[in-house]
Structure 1
Amino acid sequence: MPDYRQEIPFFDTAIYNPKQRSQIDLAIQSVLDHGKYINGPEVYEFSEKLSTYLNVKHVVPCANGTDALTISLLALDLQRGDEVIVPVFNYVAAAEAVEILGLTPAFIDVSNKDFNIEVKEIEKRINSKTKAIIITHLFGAAAKIDHIVDLAHKYNIAVIEDIAQAVGTELNQRKVGTYGDIGCISFFPTKNLACFGDGGAIITNNEVIANKAKMIANHGQTNKYEHKIAGCNSRLDTLQAAILSVQLLYLEDNLNKRRAIAEKYQDGLKDISEICLPVQQQNSFHTFNQYCILLRSKEVREELQNDLKNSGIGVMIYYPKPLHIQEAFARYEHKVNDFPVAEDLCNRILALPVFPDLREEQLQYIISQIRNFFNQ
């Protein structure tokens, strides 16, 4: 087999499709020609296209995914001290948005099968202060959002879906992000739907929430120089919106490529007993923003990680430390073993390359290196 040492990054942001590159170049040139770099027509056009794709009534573009979460919480008119349920095995953005607004993150452990929030633990954590739940559809796998929404309605709690890693993911033939009150998106370059920098959006079917989010994202303005509330400055650049409209055209094709890569990993690694492979719940469409395996122990994970890196294969750990033992949340006095599943995942998880332009020979090289490591 050819030697691909130093040739396989964990993620490659280059665009190799000549037609796609040409369309992006034209889209950028169009913005340069009209010079409307803030709130240009491409921002509205992309919002409309994304609304159609997700089958959601309102899209509010913003500067990044963390802003989308923060603005969403502000749009719900929560009060200081209100609790917001957050999965403890997660990127920091959700808990960070809760914390900086003076709200309280109520951490919940996750499932060791799909890495998403453990539904049966949610009701145990709900109390009179619980006002919202943030659900992250992690790695492109749909959480049990239908059950979560039913539970939230029972207690009159708002649901925010973080689909930063899951644009295009479906449950029961419905796009995630549209089940709850609000959906939040990041268009960071490594996401399923990606721009060439930072970008984000808020999606909702609730007109009141949409109007409030638009106002917050634009300095709290109802009209120019008329500020109804104190807001922030969070806008999706016209250049990024133009790029995203092109990227959206290729999204489904790229998702299918991710799924095809994941299927080949599943087939190539299924007989290695030392590895647990990702699963997806029934009636769902997993989009594999990450392809994460579980190793037998932290030591085996470290050995395999080093072996793959030495073979020129980029890998990542999502995530090396759960949120409850991060220094940023030390004031809540959580201890080790408070969330055993999340802590175990952090010790054993490893993400393999799954970007759409991963070539077949590269994929087979990765699989062969893993099999060789386990003497398979």
Structure 2
Amino acid sequence: MTAPVPFFDRARGDLALQDELSAVFQSVLRSGHYILGPEVEAFESECAAYLGVRHAIGVSSGTDALLVALMALGVGAGDEVVCPAYTFFATAGAIHRSGATPVFADVLPGSLNIDPASTARALTERTRAILAVHLFGDCAPMDELLAIAGGRGLPVIEDAAQAFGAERGGRRAGALGLMGCFSFFPTKNLGGFGDGGLATTDDDKLAERVRTLRAQGARRKHHHTRIGGNFRLDALQAALLRRKLPRLGALLERRREHAARYAALLGGRDLPLTLPDAGAAGHTFNQYVIRLKDASLRDPLRSSLAEQGIGTEIYYPAPLHLQPCFAQLGPPEGSLPVAEAAARDTLALPIFPELTGDEVTRVAAAIASFFG
């Protein structure tokens, strides 16, 4: 019986590092420092150096990184923040939790990243920020977004949850806007061992606010200058992630190799699907998402692959402006056509670093066979 091809298998990489990771756990256990502390400080310093920013602040999750960034900027009730309609829920959820209203923009047909023209049309007098998502590991068109935002004096926040290590124009994600937000959820490029996140900035004052806000609004015990939250990063997560960070370059290269192999095997065969654009050299392919030219074939293809033991996922089955909790905000169905079409016709294929070349070949062959 042919072994299944999982959509994602984190254990393949972790088991290869089992002895080293176990030693790290024992070290943290002996230290008695379990929240923040020396391991978190060292990890923050190493991330700042890697990303090319002055400040990297460890927080409890990618979602909390978004929330604390908005809080640090003073975004709140009565404000609006423009974000893409086609992305993970946390992008808009964090905006709503800050007290502001998410305003949804359409996405570009190729990369599915936020459309600058649609973003510009979404701006109003109440707009306080633009929250750009680097979707699937590819940086959003930041030059155009920064130009639009600069004309209005608006900050651009990067939701770089899927894009640790991605680059555009020689700079890394998280160093392109005023603030960057990362997730260390296990499926991410730099995946942790539970929840964890990071906020980045070159602004000293914003960094100080984030450090204050993540610890209940206090920089020293029982002295609260702000109303914050419990957004602290665990020392164990930081310690384990520190051992993975030096290996990130090799892991990202494996993702790019798999993407190139998919493109070579599926491209040029006149199949009724569109492959993701390789984009700039900095694309990290946190997901490899194809689009079916006939959306009605997406679910049958997925079922066919599942019958052969091949895992897939749908990112995302509904755009945010059509989610029940945001439906009252608008715009109505049909207003953001690219995002709505992407929800119907996209399918994510396996692309984690430890995937083998033979497995990529098998996935591609099964897709080609489906179209016969």
Which TM bucket (shorter chain)?
A: over 0.9
2:186 counterpart SS class = coil
Q: Report deviation, 1:284.
A: 4.1
Does 1:54 find its partner at 2:51?
yes
CA distance in 2, matches of 1:178, 1:4: 44
2:160–2:182 Cα contact (<8 Å) kept? yes
CA distance in 1, matches of 2:186, 2:49: 22
Does 1:248 find its partner at 2:245?
yes
Q: Tell me the equivalent position of 1:146.
A: 143
Q: Tell me the equivalent position of 2:274.
A: 276
CA distance in 1, matches of 2:90, 2:13: 31
CA distance in 2, matches of 1:322, 1:256: 30
Q: Tell me the equivalent position of 1:111.
A: 108
Aligned length: 371
CA distance in 2, matches of 1:225, 1:18: 42
Unaligned segments of structure 2, at least 5 residues: none
2:168–2:282 Cα contact (<8 Å) kept? yes
Q: Report deviation, 1:78.
A: 2.0
TM score, norm. by length of structure 2: 0.97
Counterparts in 2 of 1:48-197, with a 5 A limit? 48-197=45-194
Residues 280 and 362 of structure 1, relative CA distance in 2, 3 Å threshold: closer
CA distance in 1, matches of 2:315, 2:330: 24
Unaligned segments of structure 1, at least 5 residues: none
CA distance in 1, matches of 2:371, 2:11: 32
CA distance in 2, matches of 1:230, 1:17: 38
Residues 57 and 164 of structure 1, relative CA distance in 2, 3 Å threshold: same
**What whole-Å deviation, never above 9, does each CA across 1:175-226 have from its counterpart, x for those lacking one?**
0111111000000000000101000010000011000011110000031100
Q: Tell me the equivalent position of 1:367.
A: 364
Does 1:338 find its partner at 2:340?
no
Q: Report deviation, 1:92.
A: 0.7
Does 1:204 find its partner at 2:179?
no
1:115 counterpart SS class = coil
Q: Tell me the equivalent position of 1:266.
A: 263
1:296–1:348 Cα contact (<8 Å) kept? yes
2:272–2:294 Cα contact (<8 Å) kept? no
Does 1:351 find its partner at 2:351?
no
**Of 207, 210, 214, which residue of structure 2 is paired with 1:213?**
210
CA distance in 2, matches of 1:88, 1:17: 34
Q: Report deviation, 1:18.
A: 6.5
Percent identity, please.
39
Q: Report deviation, 1:297.
A: 2.3
1:155 counterpart SS class = coil
1:142–1:280 Cα contact (<8 Å) kept? no
The 10-residue stretch of structure 1 (150-159 or 309-318) with the greater mean CA deviation from structure 2: 150-159
CA distance in 1, matches of 2:83, 2:275: 25
Q: Report deviation, 1:19.
A: 6.0
1:161 counterpart SS class = strand
Q: Report deviation, 1:299.
A: 1.7
Does 1:13 find its partner at 2:13?
no
Q: Report deviation, 1:9.
A: 1.1
CA distance in 2, matches of 1:166, 1:64: 15
2:317–2:343 Cα contact (<8 Å) kept? yes
1:261–1:354 Cα contact (<8 Å) kept? yes
2:211–2:219 Cα contact (<8 Å) kept? no
**What whole-Å deviation, never above 9, does each CA across 1:52-78 have from its counterpart, x for those lacking one?**
100110011100000000000000012
**What whole-Å deviation, never above 9, does each CA across 1:127-157 have from its counterpart, x for those lacking one?**
2111100000000011111221122111100
CA distance in 2, matches of 1:176, 1:333: 30
Q: Report deviation, 1:39.
A: 1.6
**One-letter code aligned to 2:106:** D
1:20–1:246 Cα contact (<8 Å) kept? no
CA distance in 2, matches of 1:364, 1:260: 12
CA distance in 2, matches of 1:333, 1:125: 12
1:170–1:286 Cα contact (<8 Å) kept? yes
**What whole-Å deviation, never above 9, does each CA across 1:246-291 have from its counterpart, x for those lacking one?**
110111100000000000000000023301000144x441100000
1:301–1:349 Cα contact (<8 Å) kept? yes
Q: Tell me the equivalent position of 2:232.
A: 235
Does 1:30 find its partner at 2:27?
yes
- List structure 1 runs of 4+ shifted beyond 6 angstroms: none
TM score, norm. by length of structure 1: 0.96
2:312–2:349 Cα contact (<8 Å) kept? yes
Q: Tell me the equivalent position of 1:286.
A: 283
1:285 counterpart SS class = coil
**One-letter code aligned to 1:261:** H
1:305 counterpart SS class = helix
Q: Report deviation, 1:331.
A: 2.2
